[in-house]
Amino acid sequence: MVMEVDEDEGYKAERAYVALLHGENKTFLLYAASLGNRLRQLDADTRRVLLVGKSAEDHPAPQGEHVKSLSAIWEVEEVDLVDCPVADKSRRKRHRYVFTKLRCLEVPYRRIIFLDLDVIVRSSPAPLFEVPAPAGMYHGRWDRGQAQHGVPLPPEAFYDDGCIGCVNAGLLRFDPPANSSARRALVKNMLEQVKALSKSDESYLPEQYFMVKELNGWHHIAVAWNCEVNPEWFIQYGRGKRRAHSVLKAEMHDDWWKLGGTEEELRKNVHMFHFSGQWLQPWWYIHLDPEDAMKVIKKHYACRDKRGMIALAVGDWLRGIQELQKSDEYSAEQAVFQEIIDELKHKARRWWEEVSLCKLCKNPKEEGEDLCEECEVQSHKDDKENGHAGLPFKKCQVSQKKRSSPLGKKEEKPEEV
Ligand SMILES: [Mn+2]
Ligand SMILES: [Zn+2]
């Protein structure tokens, strides 16, 4: 008689934080180290799993020596990348590998919280394990004012003829199935659906729309846990020679505005910041101390970000890097982290030296423009106060355009993290 061998593995433990690193960009390696260290400080009892993408065509895996250093902070699991360029609308196909996030459903833990690498966690995310899965912060055209933390989102939030909504995949709550064969089957099935995607499914957020179609019963996670770092005002540059610039208010849901009107209130209310756009990466300030960086940012964004969200978020991210450097948990790994930090410091310094400056205030500005965005927004506000019509103003009706960096075209274009 042949014994039936049960190869099914159950759960390793109750809870885990999960993140994904892929590609050889060392910036994200540092992001991963810093995120893992923050999670360890805030909630040491919960396991930390880092999925590391194996190499794919034109997309090498992170260097072995680096991955080894990360395994001092995370349980490292190498995974095959999921490649889906057809669903990715971005010109440079920055999001072609984002579907690899689905592999977090293969992780053998009963409850998981998936986090992007481009976040700074400010308080223990442990309370989020109590939110029923699947869960994520609602993103879309439905009125998010009706959503409540931990409460199911209604079907009409997602569908209206076409798809009108999804969840922000920078922070997700999942319950992977109870045994390994069920987990594999679930992911395998989803990957078959991914393969079947076509040009008509393309978007800038392909995995977000895909997930809400594939999984039912989404619960909302409050914006305080996934606060996208944005200025309140920005300039939409017109095209052509006689272009008009528009001063636009960031198109964010009311709950984002209500997070607080001052730095103190934001400090108290925000549990996690998410540097989700391409217009700002916190490492651009890595050559500065947190306090100095905050001063610089407050000056550059005085008008556009009165409550100081950007300064607070970047300052906190820089403190996270300091904590990593000071930690005695990773003595053997420190040299590797330090090398990356030094490299980025050098790069950031050089960029700021080369950036073009505003004619009026000497702050950094977009290449090809006379004035910086700050001065443009300021002059618009002055005009309004003096009774002039000012720059054409309208509330932004479309999603906020991805801005290039204050460093102009020198920005390194990272893959989605
Ligand atoms: Mn992100
Ligand atoms: Zn200026």
Distance (Å, rounded) from C-alpha 228 to C-alpha 277?
8
Ligand 1 centroid vs 220 CA: distance in angstroms?
18
Half-sphere exposure (CA, 13 Å, Cβ side) for 14? Answer: 5
pLDDT tens-digit readout, 279-326: 899 999 999 999 999 999 999 999 999 999 999 999 999 999 999 999
And the tokens for 383? 């005009």
Q: What is the pLDDT of residue 347?
A: 96
The region, left, alpha or beta by phi > 0 then psi within -120 to 50, assigned to residue 150 is left
Q: Which of 221, 242, 258 is the last residue of a domain?
A: 221
Whether 193 and 294 share a structural domain: no
pLDDT surpassing 50 at residue 413 = no
Q: What is the pTM of this model?
A: 0.89
Q: In what order do the strands lie in the sheet with 272-274?
A: 119-121, 272-274, 227-228
**Band of the pLDDT at 378, cuts 50, 70, 90?**
confident
Domain that holds residue 96: 13-221
CATH code of residue 103: 3.90.550.10
- Whether 86 has a pLDDT exceeding 70, the answer reads yes
Report pLDDT digits (tens) over 192-243: 987 887 777 777 778 888 888 889 999 999 999 999 999 999 888 777 655 6
Centre of ligand 1 from the C-alpha of residue 383, in Å: 36
Measure 363 CA to ligand 2 centroid, in angstroms: 5
Polymer length in residues for the chain: 417
User: Ligand nearest 363 Cα, by number?
Assistant: 2
Classify 183 as helix, strand or coil: helix
Sign of CA dihedral 172, 175, 180, 185: negative
Contacts 24+ apart (CB under 8 A), 262-268: 262/307, 262/308, 263/307, 263/308, 263/309, 263/311, 263/312, 265/307, 266/307, 266/308, 266/309, 266/312, 267/312
Residue 414, in any domain of the structure: no
Same domain, 235 and 254: yes
Lowest mean pLDDT across 135-139, 162-166, 313-317: 162-166
Contacts of residue 87, defined as CB under 8 A and 6 or more positions apart, other chains included, come to 95, 99, 194, 197, 201, 202, 203, 206, 210
Residue 393 lies in a domain: no
pLDDT score, position 163: 66
My answer on whether 116 and 49 are in the same domain is yes
What amino acid occupies position 40?
A: R
- Report how far ligand 1's centroid is from the alpha carbon of 117 (Å): 7
398 falls within a domain: no
For residues 242 and 213, state if they share a domain.
Answer: no
Q: How far is the centre of ligand 1, averaged over its atoms, from the C-alpha of 372 (Å)?
A: 26
How many A from CA of 255 to the centre of ligand 2? 30
For residue range 104-126, list pLDDT tens digits in order: 999 999 999 999 999 999 999 99
pLDDT at 277 over 50: yes
Q: Which ligand is nearest to the CA of 205?
A: 1
Winning range, highest mean pLDDT, from 22-26, 203-207, 269-273, 387-391: 269-273
Is 396 among the domain residues?
no
